Amino acid sequence: MTDQLYQDRIVALAKARTGAGKLSDPTKSARRDNPLCGDRVVVDVRLDGEGRILEFAHQVRGCLLCQASASALSAVAVGRDAAGVEALRHDAERALGREAGEPHEPFDAFKPVQNHKSRHECVLLPFEALRDALT
């Protein structure tokens, strides 16, 4: 048995469900589906006048990796604008080995996903939804 993918940090992030739920009065919402696996993410954001995230919430109907990613994103998204969220995405891409460089907390937790290319989209789906909400 070699299930190196589901390491404790990823499972803990998913179970923490940080930011899971809805916002009562979101500035914007966006939904993204992964047509290949059926995973679905809805994100709500409340923004200030300059496009910075004041509040972030997500609803994930998807796998543990997608839940963990949304949870990690939720922990660090507040205070960032679209460019700031893109910087986080680069960190996630680095964790997945899609970009050069060392990823930082919390997305370094996803390094075990590097060799499971079919699961990269699971990690990136919350970023796609958030990108839609911010543009």
Partner 1 sequence: MSFDVAAVRRQFPILSVVVDGRPVHYLDNGASAQTPDAVLDAVRVYETTGRANVLRGVHRLAERATEAYENARAEVAAFLGVPEMEVVFTGGCTAAINLVAYSYGSLLKPGDRILVSELEHHSNIVPWQMLRQRAGIELDFAPVTVDGRIDLDALPRLLTPRTKLVSVAHVSNVTGSLVDVRAVVTLARTVGAKVMLDGAQRAPHGPLDLPALGIDFYVFAGHKAYGPNGIGALWARAELLEAMPPFHGGGSMIGRVTKAETTWAPPPRRFEAGTPPIGPAIGLGAACKWMRALDWTDAHAHEMALVERLMGGLQKIDGAQLFGPASLQNRYPVVSFTLDGVHPHDVAQTLDSFGVAVRAGHHCAQPLMDRFDLDGTTRVSIAPYNDKTDIDALLTGVEHAARTLR
For the chain, give me the number of helices (H) and strands (E)? 4, 3
Q: Give how far Cα 92 sits from Cα of 48, 49, 106, 124, Å.
A: 25, 27, 9, 8
CB of 5 to partner 1, least distance (A): 6
Q: What are phi and psi of 52, to 5 degrees?
A: -90, 145
CB 9 within 8 A of CB 109: yes
- Closest separation in Å from C-beta 96 to partner 1: 15
- x-marked contacts with partner 1 along 98-127 as a string, rule CB under 8 A: ------------------x--x--x-----
Distance CA(70)–CA(61), nearest Å, equals 11
Judged by beta carbon, residue 62 or residue 106, the one nearer partner 1 is: 62
Query: For residue 106, is the peptide bond before it cis, meaning its omega torsion is within 30 degrees of 0?
Result: yes
Report the interhelical angle of 64-77 vs 120-134 (nearest 10°): 40
Residue 16 is a binding residue for partner 1 (CB under 8 A): no
Which of 23, 30, 45, 63 is the binder for partner 1 (CB under 8 A)? Answer: 63
- To partner 1, the closest distance from the beta carbon of 40 in angstroms equals 8
The pattern of x and - marking residues 32 through 51 that bind partner 1 according to CB under 8 A reads: ----xxxx------------
Binds partner 1 by CB under 8 A, chosen from 18, 44, 62, 134: 62
Residues near partner 1 (CB under 8 A): 1-6, 11, 36-39, 61-65, 116, 119, 122
